[in-house]
Amino acid sequence: MWKIIMLYIVTMGVAIVDKVSYEGYKLFSIVPKTQLELELLEELRRLGNAEYNFWQVPSVLDREVIFMVPPRNLDEFHDLMFRFNMHFEVRINNIQKLIDDTIPRNKSQSFDFKHYHTLEEIYDNLEELAKKYPHRVQVVVGGRTYEGREIKGVKIISSEEKSGIFIEGGIHAREWISPTTVMYILHQLLTSEDSDVRYVADNHNWFIFPVFNPDGYVFSHVKDRLWRKTRKPSSGTCIGSDLNRNWDYHWNTTGTSNNPCDDDYPGSKPFSEIEIKSISEYMKSNLHHFNCYISFHGFSQRLMFPYGHTDERINSYDELYRVGSTALEALKRRYNTQYMIGSIGEFHQLSGLSVDYVADVFDKLIVYMYELRDKGEYGFLLPPEQIIPTGEEALDSLIAIFKALSSGYIKNKRETVIIMWKLILLCTVGLVAAEMATFENYKVFKIAVTTQPQVDQLNMLADVSDGFSFWAAPAVNKQVDLMVAPHKLPEFYEMMAKIRAPHAVLIENVQALIDQTTPPSGLTKFDFKNYHTLDTIYKNLDDLAQQYPDKVQTVVGGKTYEGRQIKGVKVSFKANNPGIFIEGGIHAREWISPATVMYILHQLLTSTNPEVRALAESHDWYIFPSFNPDGYVYTHTTNRLWRKTRKPYGTLCYGSDPNRNWGYKWNVGGASNFPCSETYAGSAPFSDVETKSMSEYINSISDKFYAYLAFHSYSQLLMFPYGHTKTRLENYDNMYAIGLNSITALAKRYGTKYKTGNIAETIYVASGNSLDWVKGTYDKPVTYIYELRDKGRYGFLLPSNQIVPTGEETMDSLVAMFKEAKCNFGAVCNSVFKCNERNSIGCKCLCFTEREIRSNGIIMWRTIVLCAVIGLIAAEKATFHNYKVFRITPATNTHVELLRQLTEVPDGLTFWKEPTTVNTYVDVMVAPHKLSEFHDLMAQIKAPHQIYVENVQTLVDQTTNRSTSKSFDFESYHTLWEIYKNLDDLAEQYPGKVEVVVGGRTYEGRQIKGVKVSFKANNPGIFIEGGIHAMEWISPATVMYILHQLLTSTNPEVRALAESHDWYIFPLFNPDGYVYTHTTNRLWGKTRKPYSSLCYGSDPNRNWGYKWNVGGASNFPCSENYAGNAPFSDVETKSMSEYINSISDKFYAYLAFHGYSQSLIFPYGYTKTHLENYDNMYAIGLNSITALAKRYGTKYKTGNIAETLGHLASGNSIDWVKGTYGKPVTYAYNLRDKGRYGFLLPSNQIVPTGEETMDSLVAMFKEAKARGYPKK
């Protein structure tokens, strides 16, 4: 409608005699919230520049649009805004006043940065600089203009061998901040004494052109301050084209206008403008002299990179994003100016751009486009007092980029890109201050990594000490644990959105865990209730040597940079024992390592367990609890999360990773050359005295041990060499079998699951480690590294109450390890193990199926520990505003498996219909704060999906709208008390037929109330269960409808069915949950019994005591299908099972009602194995759903539970009834619908659902009777 209310008005490219005035022009800002608003703004833009001149064009919803309106159109504009109820803000009240403020009145004679300058003044300054610095600065002419001007710049050559940087400014005439900033950068490169600026300036060659569009720039000074284009006539009264749409790369494919009068007219053809054609030729002539291209524009505060013509990502997207992020972090430090980063096409799709052309045609990797200050307050009319701040922060950001470039880390697209984060100038230093570092509000995130590009992106952070620290390093199909400082959280979330990696908070506040694990001050007595200082550990070693003088000998294996001893013990029970070497604490922060090593030492000396005694006394033991004493002390005094040694490497960086510094395959992979990195390999093999001295000690006893064990944390892994390669050891099979046997034994005590394999296969490449050195140098046959508890819930901050359990299970594994090692190295069992075959020394060789091996794997989503507080114990009613339900169609088994794992993660995701099989739809509700993450995940796994419910709260509101009738009806859903009152009323109304019964009770003390309906004695019985899942309101509503029909219907078939049976009808098996859906959380499903401090309720349809928890249920208390901690652990199921048992001889049929999915299913849920009477049940079911469909065409399907649903569902009520009592007719209805409304079926569907269900019951029991049920 609104398109026809405007008149086309001639646009503004006319020849102008007098200077254009913008008196009374206003600048408006609108953020379009609807598609209609967006279309209106796009239509306004199409009217032309004279009417509505857009400074920021409409692109997508919720992105600000800024445009200028002339005084003559203000009334029309306000009328439009009123008519379409659009919110707007005035950004600039009078454009001309702002223009006047930016034009200097009393200009300085010299060139300065207090004012904007004319082209002539800029060019004169370039000449002055060339005269002042004759050996450095050379004025060059890169091209010419339509009006005959030169496109003048400067070339600064430090050395022909050095890499070059090309800077473009002023391609859009009105963006005066662009050439001014370019000139500021030029001056700083020549005059600054700042060491970083000097380093960048002197180590690069520079090609700097402040004004690419001289004709337009002059015109903006003398005629029209807001002119943008060139000055070449295009057609008729229209002049100029947009120089940044005229380049010959995807020219005129998007983001341009073919109206020659428009600001974004791309010209008649590529390079139609002499400015672009000539400057591109100059650039081509210097193609091999620069590898970086920077373009400056104004405004919007963005740093962007190619491409503009598409939102598809350039091959180097990840590197450009990461380097750009570094730049923006540097830019922000000075004035806290916030920029956004991304590819151009992610913001606006624009074609024919200079940066796109340079990136693709010239094959340059480092290509950026700045949109400088501000975000629209002044727009193109930035006040001159902002020139210097803009220049300063822009230069700060360039330093970060150019430092990376100058170090040679980025060459071209075809070479490996080594990430720029290594060169962030302010790495975390050695925390030399005496004050203890705090990690208050630091968070640890668990990130699911599935692709190599994601690994590469995350590896970019591996060497950044400034706010990021990896607790578990990136690898494909591994979980990454990353600690993020509070000030880095926005950057982290932005990065996660970019790489589309699912992530969750694992530790909410690191300092809280540190406080819990820090031992009490003054603790000197050694025990295993606390972690201990180095002094306490060393004293205990000395005490043990005194206590066991014939068995324990204190030894000093090496020394540290700070002069400490690396102290251990030798334990020997008799001469000539083979030896085992145990290493602990090589990484300082892994406190569980020395604690476990000390526990093992104590057990070897004191345990009375025969197997431990046999192991202890058959070996000599060389035990060193702390290979890194300096670092360990530092974790107690200064920084709890310090990892490395403490030797200075440069002025800022301390320590190497002592498990990357050993001299076997040193630094060939999985280590860093950056001294501030946590995986810094050192300057050379054995550059740290700790590794050098300990290697010498180990060499001195290398003939005395055959096994070497290193203890680390965390991840629950048992690994063996090599770390530098995935190539397998000669004795790989033996090592794997020993490892598998060891972790099997480890799991028996507490169920702790480990996995085993070689280092590089199991985690990632990690060269220069101690284990590889021992294996590669001395070829020791048994060499393992333990990554102890846990899997990330506490990470390096494992509570001290886990020291003993960790030690116990580890000791169990050592007993098994060396028992199995003795077997496998007895020279009889070869690499091809045969089950149940014993060798000559009586050892049994082990066999494992692939399933058993796989069962040790890590399922990534299941270990996300941070559950949502599903209990919702607050009294305030939960809202589901803007929650959406998506229907996903998993196309692969991988999709199905991933979605199944997500069912265990209740943080913002609720599955309405769980994943079952390929091409079977899944319905999941997603909270608003999880939408971005959900969309990223779907994009990553490429699973087809669509929105099924746009706003869940809207449906909630519809289902809770109550009828005004005071009587019980079927126009609304009713509360528990209304249902119970109606049961009582029916009993009073039909005293000879209806009897209220109480079948059970609830955790919160409510009755589970039902009725028995009997028309004559000795009728066979039918039991009806409703409302076992609280949120399925259609279930009790339908059960109540059936009850009313049985009592009141005049239909002869209904009457015959009703009066030929006794009926035991319970509309609500889960009263507590049902009340909770009315008072607090409409979508609650479970009971309300607390199962932990955070998690409430079990799934009462997984808690029954027949084949309980054998499949299709969860052991996670916060899960929607938590089976409870035992069969009948909930009083609801226990009490109702007792009532059912008491009348089990009185009914032959059991019907359970659920919602939704439109299926009629029968046992079993725990298996797909068919019932003895499967054929009868299927035939009855088919007959029933056929009858159901006749009234409204509602389509159901039938079959046994496990087959029909596509997944197991053990512990359900009808399985229990069937399995316990053998009842011949047992069905569960999943009522309407198939997902359009899901659990929120509108109340106007109660009666239709009841009617068709009643039809099906008539058919069901008619067909059952025909098949001989109930049997006489």
Question: What's the rounded Cα separation, in Å, for the pair 108 and 879?
Answer: 63
Q: Is the Cβ–Cβ distance between 1113 and 1165 less than 8 Å?
A: no
Cis peptide bond N-terminal to 1174, omega within 30? no
Q: What are the counts of helices (DSSP H) followed by strands (DSSP E) for the chain?
A: 37, 40
Question: What's the rounded Cα separation, in Å, for the pair 461 and 469?
Answer: 8
Q: Is the Cβ–Cβ distance between 1057 and 1257 less than 8 Å?
A: yes
Order of strands, edge to edge, in the sheet holding 443-448?
A: 468-472, 479-484, 443-448, 503-507
Question: What's the rounded Cα separation, in Å, for the pair 121 and 190?
Answer: 18
Q: Is 272 helix (H, G, I), strand (E, B) or coil?
A: coil
At 946, list the tokens: 């669509």
The dihedral built from the CA positions of residue 1115, 1116, 1122 and 1124, taken in this order, carries a sign that is positive
CA 786, 791, 795: angle at the middle one, nearest 5? 90
* Nearest residue to 587 via CA among 758, 785, 739, 772: 785
Question: What's the rounded Cα separation, in Å, for the pair 424 and 1070?
Answer: 59
Q: Is 559 helix (H, G, I), strand (E, B) or coil?
A: strand
* Locus of tokens 């990454």: 480
Question: What's the rounded Cα separation, in Å, for the pair 1116 and 1127?
Answer: 15
DSSP string, 554-586: EEEEEE-TTS-EEEEEEE-SSTT--EEEEEE-S
Residue type, 209: F
Our measurement of the distance from residue 1010's CA atom to the centroid of its chain's CA atoms, rounded to an integer in Å, reads 47
Residue type, 820: E
Q: Which residues contact residue 996 at a Cβ distance below 8 angstroms, ignoring those fewer than 6 apart?
A: 983, 984, 987, 1009, 1010, 1011
* Nearest residue to 206 via CA among 160, 161, 157: 157
Q: Is the Cβ–Cβ distance between 12 and 40 less than 8 Å?
A: no
Give strand pairing partners of 788. Answer: 713
At 812, list the tokens: 């169990």
How many Å from the N-terminal Cα to the C-terminal Cα in the chain?
75
Question: What's the rounded Cα separation, in Å, for the pair 613 and 1212?
Answer: 49
| 707 membership: H or E segment, kind and range | strand 707-713
Q: Which of 787, 820, 1120, 1252 is catalytic?
A: 787
* Locus of tokens 């009145």: 105
Question: What's the rounded Cα separation, in Å, for the pair 1028 and 1086?
Answer: 8
Phi first, then psi: give them for residue 306, nearest 5 degrees.
-60, 155
Phi-psi region of 841 (alpha: psi -120 to 50; beta: other; left: phi over 0): alpha
At 677, list the tokens: 């990195």
At 627, list the tokens: 């290979």
- For helices 931-941 and 489-499, give the axis angle rounded to 10 degrees: 30
Q: Is the Cβ–Cβ distance between 764 and 798 less than 8 Å?
A: no
Q: Which of 273, 329, 371, 933 is catalytic?
A: 371
Residues in the chain: 1272
* Nearest residue to 729 via CA among 685, 767, 780: 780
Q: Is the Cβ–Cβ distance between 1045 and 1035 less than 8 Å?
A: no
Phi first, then psi: give them for residue 705, nearest 5 degrees.
-140, 150
* Locus of tokens 């035992």: 1126
Active site residue 787: yes
* Catalytic residue set: 371, 787
